[in-house]
Each structure stands twice: as structure tokens, then as C-alpha cells.
Structure 1
Amino acid sequence: MVKFNYERKLLVDYIKREVVPRLESGEVFFDVEQIDNCIGYTEKYFFELEDFQKFIISFVFLYFSENHRNVYRKILIMIARGNGKNGLLSAIGSYLTTPMHGISKYNISIVANSEDQAKTSFDEVHDTIESHEDLEELFGKPSKSEIKNKQTKSLFKFRTSNGNTKDGLRDGAVIFDEIHQYESNKDVKVHISGLGKRPNPREFYIGTDGYVRDGFIDQMKDMAIKVLKGEAKWNAMFPFICKLDKEAQVNDPKLWELSSPMFSLPMSEYAQGLYETVLEEYEDLELNPSGREEFMTKRMNLPVTDIERSVATYEELKATKKEFPELRNLPAVGGFDFASTRDFIAVGALFKIDGDYVFKSHSFVRKEFVDRIYSYSKPNENVNGKRRFAPIRQWEDEGLLTVLDEPSMDAQHVVDWFVRMRDEEGYEFQTICGDGYKMREYLQPKFEEAGFEVSWNGKFEEPLGYRVEVIRNFRAIDAQLSTVIEDSFANQKINFGDNDMMRWYTNNVLRHLKKDGNVEYIKKEDVRRKTDGFKAFEAAMFKADLLNEVDTTDFYDNLGWFLS
């Protein structure tokens, strides 16, 4: 038995309520010849259709009896990735340009945000024509930009949604792909402005859900529900939406057909392969939980609603408290955060040992700031009956930070720390990384005076241990590093040692999912919740690939052999 999600259950009720009575009264009719021709055309030249795809095709050719006008101008198809949205519209769009459809100059435009995406369906039609001689007789030799049916003079072409004005087009139908990326209907309105100049205009909207909220796709979903519930004009849209109803259903693979109708039994060979792919991705989430948002959004068609959360859970942070291994004379990558000279500065050295990212850090804080914000100079543990927000004096006693009584903290403290770690602790710095903000004015002269080469393009002449690499756009590395950082926390592969200040820094970081699906790390609160240590850690992680992993097991095994 086929399992239906909430929207498809509504669709069944809608058809019984709105379509069946009109069929029985003769107000509307299915053009069976067109439906059979389109299905036959698709299965002969493109691929064998699933039942749900034949169902969708049927409603493309539902007409009013009085004037043979198509009932649905707008058709919305939202299903999970891999279920053949593009392929289906490639076939339908190609069919609509043929004599079987029977409308001359019925041009088809495929619209997407990028040219590569817009060409997906176009290239499929192009390649299909080239591989069938009888289609080449009908369409001629297709070009790289458009396909023209020789008998109907209909064009099949692709466009980008953010191109120049498209006013004056004479399309018969427009296919809007990847609609989750549209922030408004502005570009859509431009592309459909030419519809209506040919009979039976159609607008196809296809895609899987995305991260842009309160944008175009949410407007379409809202209209779909109104149509299905009878709260809008009954033929304002034909919506076919497949998705999970709630997040918990992802843990039962038998329910995945709610979002992927391909998985309804019996599964085709293609569907079986798709299912194995999705199952593998699901199982990977155990070790790579940062991929959950993408999996839920694209494979289950159900975007996660929690777009903001801590970068690591309480349990994950507890797991970072491990004993430091011996670090002397090991390869390291340095990281620093020097965004403000009036509150906190953080520095650190990153190692990779036994699969763990080991981060030894130190902070510099300005006395006036920590006096004012954290009551550093007051001797009591509690201030005004409340526990201190951050135990600065305790962390100072533990050697985790240095309190500086300076009007503005000198960049020399940063340079001196790395020199000390290199010369006294023997850390073999492959490079040192930090934000370019304030680099030229404050840090670069100090580093160069100490013999370091500062590079803004990642190219160096100086040997290892004397290199400082500037991260020109620090915000951009959040998305780049989020997967490895968050998966490392989840799999307990991060070692901050006996440094509660680093756990405090990290707990102050808010992981925010942007509209484009990329992650950014922001502060939970601007003044008291400092994140400098985490940003120094992130800066070092930017070049973690330079670290050759140290395996202490081999070392101790060899040591035992040597001593014997």
C-alpha cells in the first residue's frame, strides 16, 4: 500500500471534492489522447515512467470542455532529490513543442538561478534528440542554446532568473527549476509576462525545499495548502508535494516514500539504487551529524526548523577535557584572534595526534574590561548575590590567561607567545593563521620585526616556523570549516585539555544557518559572551591539512623495542 504524506492526503480529498464532480458534470475532461501520447513519447525516448509521474502528466492535460482551455496554468512539483523532477519536465517540455500537442510556436523556457542548473533539462532533451534519428528528423540538429521543432516552429531553450529583462517573450510554458533559491517572485513575474500570447499557457514550478524562509517557495507552499483546503480558487494551482510530516519519521526508512514516491513498492531498478544511496547517506550521519540539515532538506524535503544552535552540545564540550599528550617538537599550526585590543585576545597551537585535534591556547585580557564586565578585582566569588559570569581570576591562577593593565593591548603579546612556543617548547609551526583585520597596522610590523614572513596570498619564501598567513575573509571560512569542526566535536575528536576557558569560549558560539544553507558562527551575546578562543581555534583549523598526524601508539611500541 502506498504511503501518503499530509499534502498528498489533502490532494486526494481535493480531487474528490473539486475535480470529480466537475468530471461527472462534463465541465472538465482529461484529454486521454494527449496523456497517452505524452506518456508514450516519454517512455519511448526518455525513460520508463513511475505511476506518480503518469498521475502528474494526466493533470497537465485536464481541460475545460467549453473552450478546451487547460484547467491548471500553475503546476507545483515538490519532491525529494533524486525522484526525477528534471527528467519528467524535460520530457513534458519536449513533448509540448511537438505536433502531437498541436500548438505552433509553443516555446518552452527553462529558468534557474544558474546557467548550469538551467541547462540540466535542456541538455537532457538535447542529448535525447541526438541519440534518436527520428527525433533529429523532427527537430533537426539541436544547437547548444536552443532546440527548434521544424514542424511547429516551437523553441526549447534555457534562461537564468537573474539575467537581463525578459519582457516581450512569447513562451507557451515556462519551467522554473530550483525554486527554493528564489527570494521573491520578482524574476518569476518577468519570465511569465509573455505568457498568454499562445493558447494554454503553463507555469511549471519544480524543486526540493531549501533554506530561504518567507521567500518565494514558502509563498507557493502556502498557496498550495489554501487550494487543497478549498480556501483559494480551486484551479489556482495543481500541487504535488511529497515530504515527511515530521522530523522523527526520518528514523524509519519505511516512511521515506512520504518524500520519495520512487520508494513506493515495488521499486524499480533505478529506485532501488536511489534507496541504497539515501540509506548510505543516512547511516553516515552517525559519524557526520553536520550533514543532517542537508539530508533532511534535500532527501526528506523537510527543512529543519532549528537554524540556530550551539556549535557543540554540553556532552560534546565535556568530552574535550582530556589529558594533553607530549607536544614538544611536534608539528603545529598557530591560530590567533586579534579582533579587539580592548577586551580579549586569543592565541593557540593546533596539533593532530591519534586522530584528535589537540589545541593548546592562551588568552590576554584587558584589566579595565574584565573589572567592569566580570568584576575581576573584587575578591568574593559572588557579585551582588550572583555567581560570576566568567571566573577570570581563577583562569588567571590556572595560567590560562594573562591580565594586562594597558589602555589597549599591544600586538607584541601575540608575537611573543608564538616565538616562545616555537623556541622554548619546540613547536614546529607549519604556519600561523589569523584574520586580516588590524593585521597591516598592528600585527604585521611586529611579526616581521621578529623574523616572520607575513603572506596575504598563501605563498612564502621563509622556512617553516617563520610563516604567518592572513585569512582575508574570515567570515567565509565558517561554512568551509563547519563540517569538520562540528563532526569532530560530535565524534569526540577535539582535545582542549584542562582548559575550561576554551569550553566557555566555544559554548558562547552560536551556529547559525543562513538562507543560502551555509553556516556562520556568531556570538550568543555581544558583550559578555566572548568567542575569541574559538575563533583562534578556527583560524588554526583553516590550515589543519598541513599537520601530519602523530600516532603515539607506534612511538611507544618502538620505544619498547628500543629499550629492550
Structure 2
Amino acid sequence: MDCIQQYYHEITDQKVTVCHKTKRVYKHLVDTIHHPGVFHFDEEKANCAITFIEVFCHLSKGKTGGQLMELELWQKALISAVFGFVDDTGLRQYREVLLLVARKNGKSALESAISLYMLIADGESAPELYSVATKRDQAKVVWDEAVRMVKKSPEIHKYCKCRVGDIYCSINDGIYKPLASDSNTLDGLNVSCALIDELHAWKDSNLYDVVADGMTARQQPLIIIASTAGFIRENIYDLKYKQAEDTINGYDGITDYVDDRFLPIIYELDDKEEWRNPSCWQKANPGLGTIKDYQQLAEKVNRAKAGHKDVKDLLTKDFNVPETSSQSYLDWQDIKNTTTFSIAELKPRYGIGGFDLSRTTDLTSACVIFRIPDDSHIYVLTMSWMTEDALDEREREDKVPYRKWIERGLLRICPGHLIDYHMIADWFAEIQRSYDIYLYKVGYDSYGAGYLTKEMTETYGEHTMEIVIQGAKTLSIPLQNLKAELRAKNVIYNNNPILAWCLANLRVKQDINGNYQPCKNRSNKTRDDAALALLDSFTAYLRNMEDYLNII
């Protein structure tokens, strides 16, 4: 059995503990092995890279310094995925890999070993490899480790010469250099492989774009990004993490987003509070107990619990929890619910509305939630709007099937470049007219809602409209209760892909008291509007639950 399937079996047999994202990726890889399409798995190519590393690459630091690398199964599975999936001509499928793993799990040594394979044995003519970072000292971390590996291996040293600023391979005229943004060699790159270390420290995407643009002449270029988590600033790290989430969600059908060239391998906690539970530590630390010392991590955790160590640094670097600004609030396992309902069968009488407004590029969304007697489920109807002028750009950049959603009646288009708030009021009226559902309350964010609020008040009465202040004091408990209801599969939303996508995009931040509030993502590719509309509706529901349940 190949290493990918071995690793997945250990995951499913609970011999190793991984996060939901890692499990979903390896399930996808195993499915591809059994059901190949454009790409298939070549175990011989996968094993070639593994064998090279274990036969020729020596470790240089710590208790194993001087010894040959003995790859762990999680490392072999990763290498097998990178080098084993090919098309019918033998060219690699994956051109970019994101490995997110906590510190001290051997990622730099792994990068260095892979770089030497790419330099010597990948079959590329005159390969150009670069260890890339914004500063030269950081760019040399992986490169210096590769230099030490060359010097410790007589076989590699025979063909590779370590010079002041590069490693030269005489077999194929290959070259391997550290590259920083202040380098004078950024122009004219013909990159075959780039190794990017600690992407979280990058403040913009300029250097990444230069490297990616330098790969266009290669048939099977490879970018390997290995990083710990960072403090979110909406920089290149956060964009790549979002790309990883979208790719993984595409495996499960949450969206139609497909990126066959990008491989996300993410080791992180599923929930922030899991740092207190030793049985969960391996989720972010696949090398725990072997590469990374278990006792040292336990001591760090104990110091953090006692207030003697910065918890934020521990969470970010040892458990890959992005800290300070925002974090994903819901996991796909929380969100996923394929149950559907028929209003004609349920015959609800009263509902609670909510809406989240935009003017131009964002979605505008509205929803109605309702309960029926002797049923604990919360049922959700939702609709979203987008401007006609923004449709082409949004579909291209957001990489979600807006036009398919329009065809399915889940998204409506407003002519021109501005959202027409009359259409939101008309939708609520349509719900009442079509399904005989009367609005008992409507929760809303008052910012920018003056006109719509006036129209809704004239239609449904002032007592119906309830302002939902968008702060932690108001929303922390509704957020936590909504998450609990979603996890319990009590929220039935007719498997609406727009709402599911927006829930997956929902980011929150915590105040000093541990209270949550939504935090609007500054990325212009992230939409959470349908989730916020649901949250406003759910908040109004919680405020009025006793009275509401009495009238249904």
C-alpha cells in the first residue's frame, strides 16, 4: 500500500490525530488514487523522491545530527502527493504546495531535502531553484540547511559544489540560490522550484508574484510554501490560507471552486480551546514525540495556563491558530447539512427576518427563520442580491458559480451598479404572499439601513423592526448559540450553497473578556453577508424566543 493510503488509514483508524482539513485533503487524494481522471497516481515516481531523501540527505542539528533522514509517514505521504500525481505524459499535477505546520516539526529540513531532489534528480534541464524570503537571512535558513546536507553526503558532494552565494550541480548545470526582495537578481528569473519559508512574515505579494511569473517557461514548476500561522493582516499568507480553504471546500462540494494545481496540507487545531487538551496537540504537530519534544511543549502549555507565557504566541506558533485579528468561526463539519424541507408540508405561520446590506461589490442578503410546533429545528429561507455591473468581476475573482446560483433562484441581480433596497423589501413581501409567513420580528444592522428600515416599518409596523448592534456585547452569545445549533444539525437551510459559503467565510475576533463578534474581512474576495443576515435574524429570535414560541 502506498504512503498516502497508509497515512489515511492511520487517520481513519485514529492512530494519528489530525484536523478536519488534513483528513479531508487525504480523503480526496485517496479518492483520486482509486478514481483517476486527468491525473493519476504513479507510486514509482512518489517513491523515487522518498528514496533519494532517505538515501542521500543527512540531518545536521540536534540529537539526530549527522544521521540520514528517516522520513515519518506524514512526510512520506506529503512527498508522495507532491511527486506521485501526474498526467498521462508524466508531468506533475501539483505546482504549488502549502504546508502549514507548527514550529519545530522539521519543516525546514524537509524543504531542504526536497530542494536537493529538485536540483539533482527531478529531470529538469538547467534547473533554477530559489529559497525565497523578504530578507536574505530568512531566505538562507532553508538554503543553509541544504548546504550542510550537501557537505555531509559524499554522493551529493561529488556533483554539487557549495559556493558563496549558490549551490551548483554539474550534472545538469542546475543552480540553487537564496533570494530576497532586496536582491539585485529579481529580473529574468527562470524558476523551476521555489521554496518559501514563513510566508506569514510577508507584508505583500510582490515577491511571490515575481517568483510565480518567473515559472512560465517551465513545464512542471513547483512552489513549496512552508509556514507556521501568522497574525492576520490580510496579506499574502491570509490569501493563500483562504485559497486552501476554498480548495478543500471544493472537494466537499460546498462550492464549485476547483484548483487541481494547488495542494493544501494544513496541520492546525480545529478549535482554539484545544490547546488545553494534550490529545489534540498532534493536530498541529504531526512530528510530536519524535521530531518535536512532547515534554517541552507540555511545559510551554503549563506556563501559558499559569500566565507565565504569552498565550497568543503559543497558539500561533505551536498550534497554528491565527491570532489577534480574526479567525474562522465555523468548521465545515459544523456547517455541512444536506437536509431539505418543504414549506408546503411544514406550513409555518410566523417567521423572524434579518438582513445585511451592501451598496456595490458585496452581496446583500436577507433571511427568514421559523419554527413549527413540536419541532426543535430552526428552518431558514435566504436570498442574496448582487449588482449587474459587478457580476463578471465577482465571478472571476471570487471563483464561485454566481450564474448557476442565479439560475437556481438563489441569487438575484440588481440593474446597474447599486443595490436596490426595494428588492429586499419586495422579497419579504413575496415570502408573506407566497408562503403565508408573517414577520414577527426583523433584526438588522442600522448602519446604512435608513431607507429600507423606513419602508419595512411602514409595511410591518415599528414594533417589528429590531436594531442589532454589531458588537461583542450584543453578538457573542448569539454567535455561540448559533454555532451550537449548527453543530447539532438543528439549523436546516435547504442546503443553500450561498449561505454555506458565507458561513465558511465568517471570521470573528475576541475582546479581552473572551467575547466574540464578527469581523469584516478586508479581502475583497470574501463574502459573509448571508451569514451575517442569519446572525441578525437569530439574535432577534433569541431576544423574543419565549413570545415567538407561544404564537407559533
Flag the 1:111–1:306 CA change in 2: closer, same or farther, 3 A: closer
Q: Secondary structure at the match of 1:103?
A: coil
Contact 1:113 1:161 in 2 (8 A): yes
Unaligned 5+ segments in structure 2 are 1-14, 59-68, 327-511, 513-552
**Cα drift, residue 5 of structure 1:** 0.6
Matched with 1:304 is: 323
Contact 2:102 2:228 in 1 (8 A): yes
Matched with 1:14 is: 28
Q: Secondary structure at the match of 1:94?
A: helix
For residues 238 and 208 of structure 1, the distance between their equivalents in structure 2, rounded to whole angstroms, comes to 16
Matched with 1:259 is: 284
Matched with 2:49 is: 38
For residues 187 and 193 of structure 1, the distance between their equivalents in structure 2, rounded to whole angstroms, comes to 10
Matched with 1:276 is: 295
Matched with 2:106 is: 84
Matched with 2:313 is: 294
1:153 corresponds to which of 173, 195, 198: 173
For residues 29 and 283 of structure 1, the distance between their equivalents in structure 2, rounded to whole angstroms, comes to 46
Structure 2: which amino acid aligns with 1:104?
Answer: S
**Cα drift, residue 288 of structure 1:** 4.3
Q: Which range moved further: 37-46 or 249-258?
A: 37-46
For residues 28 and 266 of structure 2, the distance between their equivalents in structure 1, rounded to whole angstroms, comes to 13
Structure 2: which amino acid aligns with 1:36?
Answer: N
Q: Secondary structure at the match of 2:147?
A: helix
**Cα drift, residue 16 of structure 1:** 4.8
**Cα drift, residue 235 of structure 1:** 0.8
Count matched residues.
297
Q: Secondary structure at the match of 1:176?
A: strand
Taking the TM superposition and a 5 Å limit, the aligned residue runs for 1:341-420 are: none
Flag the 1:81–1:66 CA change in 2: closer, same or farther, 3 A: same
1:244 corresponds to which of 243, 266, 269: 269
What's the CA shift string for 1:239-272, capped at 9, x where partnerless?
Answer: 0000011121111112100100112xxx43x34x
For residues 132 and 199 of structure 1, the distance between their equivalents in structure 2, rounded to whole angstroms, comes to 29
Taking the TM superposition and a 5 Å limit, the aligned residue runs for 1:143-292 are: 143-164=163-184, 166-230=186-250, 231=255, 232-263=257-288, 267-268=289-290, 270-271=291-292, 274-292=293-311
Q: Secondary structure at the match of 1:226?
A: helix
Structure 2: which amino acid aligns with 1:80?
Answer: A
Q: Does 1:138 pair with 2:164? A: no
Contact 1:97 1:155 in 2 (8 A): yes
What's the CA shift string for 1:368-420, capped at 9, x where partnerless?
Answer: xxxxxxxxxxxxxxxxxxxxxxxxxxxxxxxxxxxxxxxxxxxxxxxxxxxxx
Structure 1: which amino acid aligns with 2:258?
Answer: K
**Cα drift, residue 126 of structure 1:** 0.8
Q: Secondary structure at the match of 2:99?
A: strand
Q: Secondary structure at the match of 2:313?
A: helix
Contact 1:130 1:136 in 2 (8 A): yes
Taking the TM superposition and a 5 Å limit, the aligned residue runs for 1:110-125 are: 110-125=131-146
Flag the 1:109–1:22 CA change in 2: closer, same or farther, 3 A: farther
Structure 2: which amino acid aligns with 1:52?
Answer: W
Contact 2:231 2:325 in 1 (8 A): no
Contact 2:139 2:197 in 1 (8 A): yes
**Cα drift, residue 192 of structure 1:** 1.9
What's the CA shift string for 1:444-480, capped at 9, x where partnerless?
Answer: xxxxxxxxxxxxxxxxxxxxxxxxxxxxxxxxxxxxx
Q: Secondary structure at the match of 1:192?
A: helix
Flag the 1:74–1:284 CA change in 2: closer, same or farther, 3 A: same
Q: Which has the higher Rg, Structure 1 or Structure 2?
A: 1
Contact 2:232 2:323 in 1 (8 A): no
**Cα drift, residue 82 of structure 1:** 0.7
**Cα drift, residue 285 of structure 1:** 1.8
Q: Secondary structure at the match of 1:276?
A: helix
1:67 corresponds to which of 89, 95, 119: 89
Contact 1:172 1:196 in 2 (8 A): no
Matched with 1:58 is: 80
For residues 248 and 58 of structure 1, the distance between their equivalents in structure 2, rounded to whole angstroms, comes to 32
Unaligned 5+ segments in structure 1 are 308-506, 508-564
Flag the 1:298–1:104 CA change in 2: closer, same or farther, 3 A: same
Identity across the alignment (%): 25
Q: Secondary structure at the match of 1:109?
A: strand
**Cα drift, residue 48 of structure 1:** 1.0
Instruction: Please report the TM-score for the alignment, with normalisation by the length of structure 1.
Output: 0.50
For residues 185 and 220 of structure 1, the distance between their equivalents in structure 2, rounded to whole angstroms, comes to 10
Q: Secondary structure at the match of 1:285?
A: helix
Q: Secondary structure at the match of 1:102?
A: coil
Contact 1:22 1:28 in 2 (8 A): no
What's the CA shift string for 1:471-524, capped at 9, x where partnerless?
Answer: xxxxxxxxxxxxxxxxxxxxxxxxxxxxxxxxxxxx9xxxxxxxxxxxxxxxxx
Structure 1: which amino acid aligns with 2:133?
Answer: A
For residues 298 and 282 of structure 1, the distance between their equivalents in structure 2, rounded to whole angstroms, comes to 12
Contact 2:42 2:86 in 1 (8 A): no
Contact 1:30 1:62 in 2 (8 A): yes
Flag the 1:206–1:223 CA change in 2: closer, same or farther, 3 A: same
CA RMSD for the aligned pairs?
2.1
**Cα drift, residue 177 of structure 1:** 1.1
What's the CA shift string for 1:515-545, capped at 9, x where partnerless?
Answer: xxxxxxxxxxxxxxxxxxxxxxxxxxxxxxx
**Cα drift, residue 133 of structure 1:** 2.1
Q: Does 1:103 pair with 2:124? A: yes
**Cα drift, residue 40 of structure 1:** 1.9
**Cα drift, residue 165 of structure 1:** 6.3
For residues 306 and 166 of structure 1, the distance between their equivalents in structure 2, rounded to whole angstroms, comes to 33
**Cα drift, residue 112 of structure 1:** 1.1
What's the CA shift string for 1:154-212, capped at 9, x where partnerless?
Answer: 11111113444613111101111110012232221012221132331111111001113
Contact 1:110 1:159 in 2 (8 A): yes
**Cα drift, residue 287 of structure 1:** 4.5
